[in-house]
Chains A and B, each alone.
Chain A
Amino acid sequence: MTIGQLLRPHVTGFVIVAALQVAGALAGLAPLLAVAEVGRVLLAPGPVEGGHLATVVFLGAAGLLLRLLLTAASAGLGHLLDGRVQLTLRRELAAALGRAPLGWLDHRRTGELAKVVGDDVTAVHPFIAHAPGELTAAFAVPLVSLIYLLTVDWRLTLITLVPVVAAIALVPLLMTSGRTREQKAFDAALGRIADTSVEYVRGIAVVKAFGGADHAHRRFLTAADDFVDIFTRWVRGVSAVAAGMQLALSAPFVLLAVLTGGTALITSGHLAPPDLLAFLLLGLGLTAPVAALGHGFDDLQAAGRAVGRIRDVLAVEPLPEPAHPVVPDGDRLEWRGVRFAYDGREVLRGVDLTVEPGTITALTGPSGSGKSTLVRLLPRFFDPDAGSILLGGVDLRDIGGRELHRRISFVFQDVRLLRTSVADNISLAVPEADRDAVIRAAKLAHIHDRILELPRGYDTVLGEEAELSGGEAQRIALARALAARTPILVLDEATAFADPQTDRAVRRTLATLRDRTVLVIAHRPETLAGADTVVTLRDGVIVR
């Protein structure tokens, strides 16, 4: 889904917000016009008509009240709309990340992706909450004022515009080609800070162990220093011009122009003194569009770049799902002439392998021989470059994702537990599982007793209320795979547990799962001995 499609349902909202804002801003002109009218009445020769004055004052006050109500309504609605749109964007981004091929995710840093979902969506805020209303108002109100002032005196109107023209003349200085380049460098540097700080926190143990207080955070500080350098250069380029613009648009400058012109015109008899008031009051408002542009310009530019990054993530193509999913017949696994290259390095060079249902197959071989890759092709982290993998006689690419995951569960080498309750971690693949099923799986994985020792047992939130050791985390992952009750179970170096006793117990558990197909990457002689078939992989081909 594109951003445009995501925003479409909210268009009516945007229009209402903008309309309210513009109406409010126009109502805000009433008190200024009232003051000008008061001046005209008071300065006019002849008796003052009290009733007329009271009406003028009343109308001015009414205009103020109207403006207040309308702008408050617009701001409130705008922000609520903003919140809703941000939620839509973030959900869609999360969904896109959840669909993206793992190969794509591998090439990105998590800090950067978190920034897209978090800060980048926030950066869109001015586009949504402010830009529609404020920009329209910033142009509509001066336009009305301008027309009114032109009817009063066209010469003084032109003089009033002098500071605005001066400010506009400075704009090109802000938008040189170098600025775009600097912007990119700025964003990149900010991204590096996010990454290094993620690293800093996650690698803190290393930082602590090897850092003297100064060397430890060198990478973080280097990234920070780079960023500040780029930022300083960036600011220095703009700040003088920006300050000049601000100055030209400031009230004293506009008043100076109006008064200089006004004095000349009044002395020469070309302007009635009361007419000067309108310029003193409304003339200042003419700077609004340029001020809004200068003021919101950086924000809008930043928002534009953020939108670009959001679009990139939304545009990631997921692995194709079959149009007509085929249900596999049985659970036999077959690799047929499978080849796969990772970053140009061929990891699998023609693998043929069949795993019969109800057997234990051990996969072994030196590191880098392609064992993990062979297994990771099963959940379609990637698709093979050549050849095919069949489950129950059907190519994996023709089986729907859901069906595939109903048949195979995995315990990977790098166990990642989620920051939720132990029970939720175990029932991840089967949310409908009841507590008994969860406990059964935990017992099979020999982690039940340890879970009971946690502060709130199965309801303990991992990573918040308790941290588990590496071996314990692995057993939770095993319980998770067992709870899924899939006919095929794939374990990647996961059978080796913290202590030999548990290791033996878990191996016994696996041996009792005779109704399931088990594929295990293993090195221990005990595990290899317990397998029905041992397959040895070397340099991407099966040697035995």
Chain B
Amino acid sequence: MIRTLLRVLGHEYAVPMRRTVVLMVLTAVAEGLLYALLVPLLRALLGGTPADARPWLIAFAVAVAGYALLRYRSDLAGMRVGTTMLRGMYHRLGRHLARLPIAWFTGARVGEVSSMAGRGLLAAMGVAAHLMAPFVAACVTPLTIVVVITVVDWRLGLTALVAAPLVVAVHVVTARSAAAADTAHAGRADEAAARVVEFVQAQPVLRAGGRDGFEPLDRALREVERASRRRTLSVLPGAVGLAVTVQFVFTAVLALGVALAVGGGPHRTGAAAAGSDGLVTAAELLVILVLAARAADPLLSLSDIGGKLRAARGEWDRLDRLLRTAPLPEPANPVRPARHDLEFDAVTSRDGDRIVLDGVSLTVPQGRRLAVVGPSGAGKSTLLRLQARFADVDGGAIRVGGADVRDMDPADLTARIAIVFQDVYLFDATIEENVRLGRPTATDEEVRAAATAARLDEVVDRLPDGWLTIVGEGGTLLSGGERQRVSIARALLKDAPIVLLDEVTSALDPDNEAAVHAGIDRLMSGRTVIMVAHRMRTVRRADRVVFLDGGRITEQGTPDELLRLGGRYAAFSGE
């Protein structure tokens, strides 16, 4: 358990974490040893010599003070490590997400990541801050007490010790079945969260569809309930088993102790001789029973703590799995190409079983423009994504300036490419911040200049708060054409030598259409361009055109050549 935790945390937190655990163990041992002083103290009080109790009482008080100091420090250390850890984990999560291939980010991940970032990390942190100390105490203190009992009377001590392997066994068995149930439950909860997001975002469609309920969401919610019921049932035997074990052993100690004490004769008081005849004095028995009660209490709380620990553990495991998802491999010695010629060399790409690109080869010399045309689903967008290394090819290679993109530093590759997506995603921030994403270090003048070139300034003038207007989640405050302008401004600001353009398919109103075309013209000039084009007006600005169908290039040439060819492209262009 601790190992998973340390791995999730990363090395920098391992040392303070270990130190904190050691402090907790020391505190728990101290508590157990503390009770050893009860033996002489109670022997005196119950055995009829209360005057002898005073020095032991003072010793006990001193020991309690020492324990208090340790406990206080260990509690605070737990909290401190917890919050430091929390920050570290957020940063690790954020960094790692940025390095995962885009293909990983399917719709279902939205719920998974958001619940992990909220509840998940907090639960993982809570372990260190709140649960670790009670857990350590519940394991270590009873064990120490049993050792103390054994010193007083080995028979009763050994009887109590029987509990140890039983408790461990019950714990291990429960943990295994409960872990499976927990994982299942967490999976269901994620699914439900993703369905809620979908349900809310799809409200317009669902309402227009005239439906009240949404069966997938309801099914997901029912599954959550079923999973939680299964989890309860899987945990219950463990909790009962633990209680049975502890209580059985406690009863055994009680019965055996009474038998041993009574066996000593018809009239023995605490003042009577010690067990030289193998018997226990009444005072000793009572001390042991008090100690046994002290050991039983924390053990019984173990199933409760164990349950909470398991819940947190499920979260670490999920986090651990995410952190261990392989990012796209990065080269040890990155190549930095001097030029920006683009090349696809027999590139194959699959989406599950379906072949999206099937041995595509093409070249774009530096400073030239290539248009990719074809029916929807032909693999056009995939081509752009592979060029930007959102995913790696399944066969063949993609090169920039002669260097395989897999041999380049990802940050270097990204820095050389500006992309205009078809579906523009805007962050729920000001319109200015969304443009500035293109180059965070840009000056205000540069941001304004890029916006003007994309004719975004007209849009900004119309907005209630101008540049400071918050565009809403996903940019819902802007129309499709306006979002497109933001995207172009972003790319212009980035000023990268390679431009990848995925032209918007839906028709724009004439005003937006003109603005977008003007912006794209500015963006393409003097750069190496691959564009997925839907409008003939855009296609004609390319030096070369490839017609993509079913993942293969079926025609290629200059726009005029292809028109003269009278093939698919000519039919497609409708001329």
Select which of B76, B106, B506 is within 8 A of A474 by beta carbon: B506
B contact residues around A512 at 8 Å (CB): none
Q: What is the minimal beta-carbon distance from A453 to any residue of chain B, in angstroms? A: 7
A contact residues around B353 at 8 Å (CB): 455
CA of A205 to CA of B389 in the docked complex: distance in angstroms? 11
24 contacts between A and B (CB under 8 A): A35-B289, A91-B221, A95-B212, A97-B199, A118-B193, A196-B117, A199-B427, A199-B473, A200-B94, A201-B105, A202-B110, A210-B438, A217-B98, A228-B86, A263-B57, A284-B297, A405-B207, A410-B205, A418-B202, A429-B211, A431-B211, A463-B107, A469-B381, A504-B574
Select which of A215, A413, A498 is within 8 A of B534 by beta carbon: A498
A467-B351, A469-B376 known; A201+B286 contact, CB < 8 A: no
CA of A115 to CA of B395 in the docked complex: distance in angstroms? 42
Q: Is the CB of A118 within 8 A of B574?
A: no
Interface string of B200-238 (1 = CB under 8 A from A): 111111111111111011100110110011001100100
Q: Is the CB of A273 within 8 A of B50?
A: yes
Q: Is the CB of A86 within 8 A of B228?
A: yes
* Interface check B474, CB cutoff 8 A: yes
CA of A88 to CA of B423 in the docked complex: distance in angstroms? 37
Q: What is the minimal beta-carbon distance from B87 to any residue of chain A, in angstroms? A: 4
CA of A76 to CA of B534 in the docked complex: distance in angstroms? 61
A43-B269, A428-B205 known; A266+B50 contact, CB < 8 A: yes
* Interface check A509, CB cutoff 8 A: no
Q: Is the CB of B425 within 8 A of A65?
A: no
Interface string of A63-106 (1 = CB under 8 A from B): 01100100110011001101110110011001101100010011
* Interface check B417, CB cutoff 8 A: yes
Known contacts A217-B98, A412-B208, then 5 further A-B pairs from the complex at CB < 8 Å, ordered by chain A residue: A198-B197, A209-B388, A225-B90, A247-B71, A410-B204
Q: Is the CB of B571 within 8 A of A501?
A: yes
A75-B236, A429-B209 known; A203+B250 contact, CB < 8 A: no
Interface centre among B197, B212, B464 (most CB of A within 10 A): B197
Q: What is the minimal beta-carbon distance from A202 to any residue of chain B, in angstroms? A: 6
CA of A437 to CA of B60 in the docked complex: distance in angstroms? 85
B contact residues around A210 at 8 Å (CB): 414, 437-438, 490, 494
* Interface check A224, CB cutoff 8 A: yes
Q: What is the minimal beta-carbon distance from A220 to any residue of chain B, in angstroms? A: 5
* Interface check A190, CB cutoff 8 A: yes
Q: How large is the interface on B (under 10, 10 to 19, 20 to 34, 35 or more residues)?
A: 35 or more
Select which of B42, B113, B129, B221 is within 8 A of A90 by beta carbon: B221
Q: Which of A6-14, A275-283, A330-338 contacts B (4 or more CB under 8 A)?
A: A275-283
A contact residues around B367 at 8 Å (CB): none
Q: Is the CB of A219 within 8 A of B427?
A: yes
Interface string of A241-253 (1 = CB under 8 A from B): 0111011001111
Q: Is the CB of B505 within 8 A of A498?
A: yes
Q: Is the CB of B236 within 8 A of A76?
A: yes
Q: What is the minimal beta-carbon distance from A84 to any residue of chain B, in angstroms? A: 7
Q: Is the CB of A367 within 8 A of B512?
A: yes
Q: Is the CB of A239 within 8 A of B266?
A: no
B contact residues around A218 at 8 Å (CB): 440
* Interface check B352, CB cutoff 8 A: yes
Q: What is the minimal beta-carbon distance from B422 to any residue of chain A, in angstroms? A: 6
Task: Please report which residues of chain A, range 389-421, place their CB below 8 angstroms from some CB of chain B when the two chains form the complex.
Answer: 401-402, 404-406, 408-410, 412-414, 416, 418-420
Q: Is the CB of A98 within 8 A of B213?
A: yes
CA of A353 to CA of B250 in the docked complex: distance in angstroms? 86
Q: Is the CB of A64 within 8 A of B72?
A: no
CA of A77 to CA of B512 in the docked complex: distance in angstroms? 62
Select which of B114, B189, B199, B297 is within 8 A of A98 by beta carbon: B199
Q: Which of B150-158, B172-180, B240-248 contacts A (4 or more CB under 8 A)?
A: B240-248
CA of A417 to CA of B562 in the docked complex: distance in angstroms? 36
B contact residues around A198 at 8 Å (CB): 110, 113-114, 197, 473
CA of A255 to CA of B102 in the docked complex: distance in angstroms? 60
Q: What is the minimal beta-carbon distance from B361 to any residue of chain A, in angstroms? A: 23
* Interface check A524, CB cutoff 8 A: yes
Chain A residue with the shortest CB-CB distance to B439: A210
Q: Is the CB of B64 within 8 A of A263?
A: no
Q: Is the CB of B510 within 8 A of A195?
A: no
* Interface check B18, CB cutoff 8 A: no
* Interface check B339, CB cutoff 8 A: no
Q: Is the CB of B251 within 8 A of A428?
A: no
Chain B residue with the shortest CB-CB distance to A497: B505
* Interface check A439, CB cutoff 8 A: no
* Interface check A484, CB cutoff 8 A: yes
A34-B254, A38-B254 known; A206+B240 contact, CB < 8 A: no
Q: Is the CB of A114 within 8 A of B111?
A: yes
B contact residues around A200 at 8 Å (CB): 94, 97, 113
Q: Which of B312-320, B448-456, B479-487, B523-531 contacts A (4 or more CB under 8 A)?
A: B479-487
Q: Is the CB of A418 within 8 A of B481?
A: no
Q: Which of A46-54, A154-162, A168-176 contacts B (4 or more CB under 8 A)?
A: A46-54
A contact residues around B438 at 8 Å (CB): 210
A contact residues around B221 at 8 Å (CB): 87, 90-91, 94
Chain B residue with the shortest CB-CB distance to A413: B480
* Interface check B147, CB cutoff 8 A: no
Q: Is the CB of A428 within 8 A of B95?
A: no
Select which of A82, A368, A466 is within 8 A of B462 by beta carbon: A368
Q: Is the CB of B505 within 8 A of A470?
A: yes
Q: Which of A140-148, A177-185, A488-496 contacts B (4 or more CB under 8 A)?
A: A488-496
B contact residues around A65 at 8 Å (CB): 247
Interface string of B369-384 (1 = CB under 8 A from A): 0000011110001000
Select which of B109, B204, B233, B285 is within 8 A of A102 by beta carbon: B204
* Interface check B79, CB cutoff 8 A: yes
Q: What is the minimal beta-carbon distance from B372 to any residue of chain A, in angstroms? A: 12
CA of A371 to CA of B200 in the docked complex: distance in angstroms? 24
CA of A376 to CA of B294 in the docked complex: distance in angstroms? 69
A105-B200, A217-B98 known; A205+B375 contact, CB < 8 A: no
Chain A residue with the shortest CB-CB distance to B280: A42
B contact residues around A202 at 8 Å (CB): 110, 425, 474
Interface centre among A190, A405, A419 (most CB of B within 10 A): A419
Q: Is the CB of A419 within 8 A of B189?
A: no
Q: Is the CB of B113 within 8 A of A75?
A: no
* Interface check A5, CB cutoff 8 A: no
CA of A204 to CA of B72 in the docked complex: distance in angstroms? 44
A contact residues around B513 at 8 Å (CB): 523
* Interface check A216, CB cutoff 8 A: yes
* Interface check A197, CB cutoff 8 A: yes
Q: Is the CB of A205 within 8 A of B425?
A: yes
Select which of A113, A235, A497 is within 8 A of B129 by beta carbon: A235
A94-B199, A200-B113 known; A84+B225 contact, CB < 8 A: yes
CA of A216 to CA of B71 in the docked complex: distance in angstroms? 43
Task: Please report which residues of chain A, range 514-544, place their CB below 8 angstroms from some CB of chain B when the two chains form the complex.
Answer: 522-524, 527
* Interface check A348, CB cutoff 8 A: no
Q: Is the CB of B428 within 8 A of A523?
A: no
CA of A39 to CA of B232 in the docked complex: distance in angstroms? 40
* Interface check B507, CB cutoff 8 A: yes
Select which of B229, B236, B381, B572 is within 8 A of A72 by beta carbon: B236
A contact residues around B114 at 8 Å (CB): 111, 114-115, 194, 197-198, 201
B contact residues around A84 at 8 Å (CB): 225
